[in-house]
Amino acid sequence: MLYCIEARSLLKSYGNFTAVDGIDLRVQSGKIFGFLGPNGAGKTTTMKLLTTLIPPTGGQMNILGIDAIKSPLEVRKKIGVVLQQPSYEPTLSVEKSLEKYGMMWNVEKKIRKERVEELLSAFDLVEIRKKKNDDISIGQRRRVQVAREFMHDMELLFLDEPTVGLDPSARRGLLDYIKVKVKDGLTIFFTTHILEEAEYLCDDIAIINKGKIIAVDTPEDLKNKFGREKTIKIHISEQKNVSALLSEIQDCKIEYNSGIITVHSNKSELVLQNILQILASNHIPVEDLSVVPTSLEEIFLSVVKNSNASNNSSGQ
Amino acid sequence: MHPIIRLVNRNLTISLNMGFVIWQIIFPLIYIFVAGFAYTALIHQVPFGNKTLDYPAFIATGMIGFNIMNSTLISGIIIWNDRRHGMFEQILVGPFTRAQYILSNVYTIGIIGLVSASMITAVGYPLFFKQVEFNILTVPLVIFASITGAILFGSIASIISTRLKSSEGFNVVINTVFLFFAFVSTAFYPAQGAPPILSTAFYFNPLTYLVDVVRAGIFGYFNDLVATEMIVLGVGAVILFLIATKLLSKLEL
Ligand SMILES: Nc1ncnc2c1ncn2[C@@H]1O[C@H](COP(=O)(O)OP(=O)(O)O)[C@@H](O)[C@H]1O
Ligand SMILES: [Mg+2]
C-alpha cells in the first residue's frame, strides 16, 4: 500500500463556519508527514476527522486501505492517536496507567510488562513511575500520554502537537524516539506549529491555513520554492552611507544601517559579487560577512501571509 | 478479551480506592448497626404488610437499596472524570464504540452494586434472618429491583454527568440529588407514621420503589402495591436509560 492516508475534498463545517475546507491529503507509508499551520488553521479538526473521532460534513477518506467513513472502528483498531488535549487517569500511577492502557488495547500481559519498562526509561519516567498522574507536572503528564500510545501495536500514529509543554531535552528525546519507530515501519502524521520540529523530523510537509492546504512538499523543496532567498549581511568600517553606491544593483532588497549592509535576494551569489566589486572599487574594506538561508519559519510566515492576502482580496 | 470486558476492567481499576470502599461498604455497615440499634429505642416495630419488622431488620434491608443506588454514582463519576480528563475522547479514538463505552459502565455498576449489596446482605443477615421468607417467587423480586434500580439510578447519574460543565457543579448536584433520594425515601423510615407530606414525597422517589421491592422479596410479601412499584421501576429504568444513552451518544467531541 503506497498511501496510508488518502483524503479527498474533506470538509467539516460547524454551522456557517468551515473549519476544514475541502482538503486533499496523501500520506505515504513509512514516512513522517508534518501538518503545519497557525493556531485555528484546522489541524486538530483534520486530525479528528482522519482518526474518525468526528464525522466529516463531506468528502472521502481512506485510511490504511479502509474506507474510514464506512468502517471507522476498523480504522481505529490499527492507528494510535495522541490528541492535543491532555488525557489521563488521575487516580492511577504513571506505570499503572501505561499498563492499563496496554490492557485496554488487548496487549498480552508479558509484552505489556516489557513495554512499560522500555517506555518508562525511553521517556525518562522511571523516577516518577509510582506517582499518581494527578501529582505530576503538565509536561510529565504529556510525556506519559505520548509514551502510553506506544504500548500497543499500530501501523499509523497521529500526534497532535505532542511536544507542547515539553522541555528542550524531552522534546528532542521524543522526536528521536519517533524517528526510531519510523525506521521500524511506522507511519506518522505529525501536527505542529513549530517549524524547526517539522524540518528536523518530517519527510513531507503540508501547510494549512484557514481550513485550506496552501502548500505540500518536502522541507527541502519548500525551501527551494519559497526560500531560495538568502540574507546577506556585510559589516563595513566606513561610516559613510553606501546606499547610493549600491542602488544600481538588481534583483535584491538592500538596507544600510550604521555600518551593516543587509541584503535579501533570490540570486545571492550574483548580488554578492556585485556588491563586493563596488565596495572594492570604492576602497571600502569589508570587516565581516555572513550569508544565511531563509529559515522554514520565514517561509511559513510568508506563505501564510500570502494566502491571507489573496483570501482577502478575492473576498472583496 | 472482549472490548467491553477490557473497559470494565479499566473502570473497576480507576474506581476502586479506599475512599470508595469506605463509603460503599464500611459506612453502610456501621450505619446499620449504630443507627439500627440506636433508633430501636424510638421505633420499636415497623408494620410491613401482614407482619411487623424489627427496626434493625427494616433498616438493614433499606440499606441494600440505598447501597445499590450509591453504586450507580460510580457511573456518573466515571463519565464525568473521563470527560474532564480527556479519557472519553481517548477511548473513543481507540478500538471501542460509544455503545461499548456505555455498556461497560452499566456492567461496572452492576458488578459493584451486586458485590456490595451481597456483602451488606451477608453482614446484615443476622439482623433480619428471623423474619426472612425467601422463596422461589420472592428472590426474583430482589434481583429485579437490583437490576432495574441500578439502571435507573445509573442513568440519572450519567444524565447529570453529561449535562454539567464545572466540577463543583457536578459534585453539588449529584450529592444533593442522591441525598434527597436517600432521606426522602422508605430506606431509613417507614412511610406509615411519617407526616403526610413526607410520606407522599416518598412516592415521588424511585429509591422508595427500589427499597420496597427489595423488602418485599426478602420478607416474602407481595401485593398490588408491590406489583405497581415494580412496573414504575421497570418503566422508569427503561425511559431514563434511553435518555442517558441518547445524551451520551450525542455528546460533542
Ligand atoms: N466544535 C467546534 N465548534 C465550532 N468551531 C470549532 C469547533 N472545533 C473547532 N472549531 C473551530 O475550527 C477552527 C479550527 O480549529 P482547530 O482545528 O482546533 O485548529 P488548530 O488545531 O489548527 O489550532 C477554529 O477556528 C476553531 O475555533
Ligand atoms: Mg490544534
Whether the predicted pLDDT of B69 surpasses 70: yes
Q: Break chain A into its structural domains and give their ranges.
A: 3-218, 228-293
CB of A193 closer than 8 Å to CB of A36: yes
Neighbours of ion ligand 2 (CB under 5 A): A 43-44, 84
Distance separating the N- and C-terminal Cα atoms of chain A:
44
**Which residue do the cell numbers 455503545 mark?**
B99
CB of A171 closer than 8 Å to CB of A202: no
Rounded to a whole number of angstroms, the distance from the CA of A88 to the nearest CA of chain B is 6
Rounded to a whole number of angstroms, the distance from the CA of A77 to the nearest CA of chain B is 5
**Which residue do the cell numbers 494566502 mark?**
A307
Cβ–Cβ gap A86/B87 under 8 Å: no
Q: Which atom of ligand 1 is nearest to the CA of A160?
A: 21
A298-304 contact pairs (CB < 8 A, 24+): A298/A227, A299/A222, A299/A223, A299/A226, A299/A227, A300/A36, A300/A195, A300/A207, A302/A226, A303/A207, A303/A209, A303/A214, A303/A215, A303/A226, A304/A37, A304/A38, A304/A207, A304/A209, A304/A214
Task: Give the whole-angstrom CA distance, residue B148 versus residue B231.
Answer: 10
Q: CB count, 10 Å around CB of B165?
A: 8
- Give the tens place of pLDDT for each residue, A111-139: 999 999 999 999 999 999 999 999 999 99
**Average pLDDT over chain B, rounded to whole?**
86
- A16 CB near ligand 1 (under 6 Å): no
For residue A315, what pLDDT is reported?
45
Which class would CATH give A3-218? alpha beta
CB-nearest to B95 from A83, A85, A105 is A105
For residue B41, what pLDDT is reported?
75
Q: How many domains are contained in chain B?
A: 1
Mutational test site, ligand 1, from A10, A44, A47, max ligand atoms within 8 Å of CB? A44
Report yes or no: A88 at the B interface, CB cutoff 8 Å: yes
Q: Does domain A228-293 have CATH number 1.10.10.60?
A: no
Q: What percent of chain A has pLDDT over 90?
A: 61
Whether the predicted pLDDT of A180 surpasses 90: yes
Cβ–Cβ gap B253/A48 under 8 Å: yes
Q: Which residue's alpha carbon is at the smallest distance from atom 18 of ligand 1?
A: A44
Whether the predicted pLDDT of B88 surpasses 60: yes
CB-nearest to A87 from B13, B90, B253 is B90
Report residue B208's pLDDT band, with 50, 70 and 90 as the boundaries: very high
Whether the predicted pLDDT of A227 surpasses 80: no
Task: Give the whole-angstrom CA distance, residue A116 versus residue A112.
Answer: 6
Q: How many residues make up chain A in this entry?
A: 316
CB of B181 closer than 8 Å to CB of B205: yes
Burial of A89 (0-12, 13-18, 19+ CB in 10 A): buried
Beta carbons within 8 Å of A39's beta carbon, 6+ residues apart: A193
pTM of the full structure: 0.84
Task: Give the whole-angstrom CA distance, residue A230 versus residue B212.
Answer: 84
SS3 A112: helix
CB-nearest to B253 from A54, A87, A100 is A54
Nearest CA in chain A to B78: A89
- Give the tens place of pLDDT for each residue, B27-45: 888 887 787 777 777 777 8
Task: Give the whole-angstrom CA distance, residue B247 versus residue A38.
Answer: 34
Residues 211-270 of A with CB under 8 A from B: none
Whether the predicted pLDDT of A232 surpasses 80: yes
Interface size A-B, in CB pairs within 8 Å, comes to: 61
Largest CA distance in chain A: 78
CB of B58 closer than 8 Å to CB of B46: yes
Whether the predicted pLDDT of A314 surpasses 60: no
For residue B169, what pLDDT is reported?
80
Whether the predicted pLDDT of B83 surpasses 70: yes
Query: Which ligand has the shortest distance to the CA of A57?
Result: 1
Mean pLDDT on A221-233: 77
Residues of B with CB under 8 A from a CB of A: 1, 3, 6-7, 9-10, 13-14, 17, 81, 85-87, 89-97, 253
Whether the predicted pLDDT of A148 surpasses 60: yes
For residue B250, what pLDDT is reported?
84
Please name the residue ranges forming H helices in B16-138: 18-21, 27-40, 55-84, 87-92, 98-128
For residue A316, what pLDDT is reported?
41
Report yes or no: A65 at the B interface, CB cutoff 8 Å: no
Q: What percent of chain A has pLDDT over 70?
A: 95
Whether the predicted pLDDT of B152 surpasses 90: yes
For residue A74, what pLDDT is reported?
96
- Give the tens place of pLDDT for each residue, A8-20: 999 999 999 999 9
Query: Which ligand has the shortest distance to the CA of A160?
Result: 2
Whether the predicted pLDDT of B239 surpasses 90: yes
C-alpha A248 chain-centroid distance: 40
Report yes or no: A136 at the B interface, CB cutoff 8 Å: no
Q: Which residue's alpha carbon is at the smallest distance from atom 7 of ligand 1?
A: A14
CB-nearest to B90 from A83, A96, A100 is A83
Q: How many CA atoms lie within 13 A of A293 on its CB side?
A: 10
**Average pLDDT over chain A, rounded to whole?**
89
CB of A54 closer than 8 Å to CB of A60: no
A10-19 contact pairs (CB < 8 A, 24+): A10/A46, A10/A49, A10/A56, A10/A58, A10/A59, A10/A60, A10/A61, A11/A56, A11/A57, A11/A58, A11/A59, A12/A42, A12/A45, A12/A46, A12/A49, A12/A54, A12/A56, A12/A57, A13/A57, A18/A211, A19/A45, A19/A211
- A45 CB near ligand 1 (under 6 Å): yes
Cα–Cα distances in angstroms (integers) from residue B179 to residues B70, B147, B151, in the given order: 10, 21, 18
Whether the predicted pLDDT of B167 surpasses 80: no
Whether the predicted pLDDT of A296 surpasses 70: no
Q: Which atom of ligand 1 is nearest to the CA of A208?
A: 22
For residue A114, what pLDDT is reported?
97
Task: Give the whole-angstrom CA distance, residue B65 versus residue B81.
Answer: 25
For residue A294, what pLDDT is reported?
66
Residues of A in contact with B17 (CB under 8 A): 91
For B228, the domain range is: 3-249
A54's grid cell: 468526528
- Give the tens place of pLDDT for each residue, A2-61: 899 999 999 999 999 999 999 999 999 999 999 998 889 999 999 999 999 999 999 999
- A54 CB near ligand 1 (under 6 Å): no
- Give the tens place of pLDDT for each residue, A236-295: 886 677 888 888 888 788 888 888 888 888 888 888 888 899 888 888 888 899 888 766
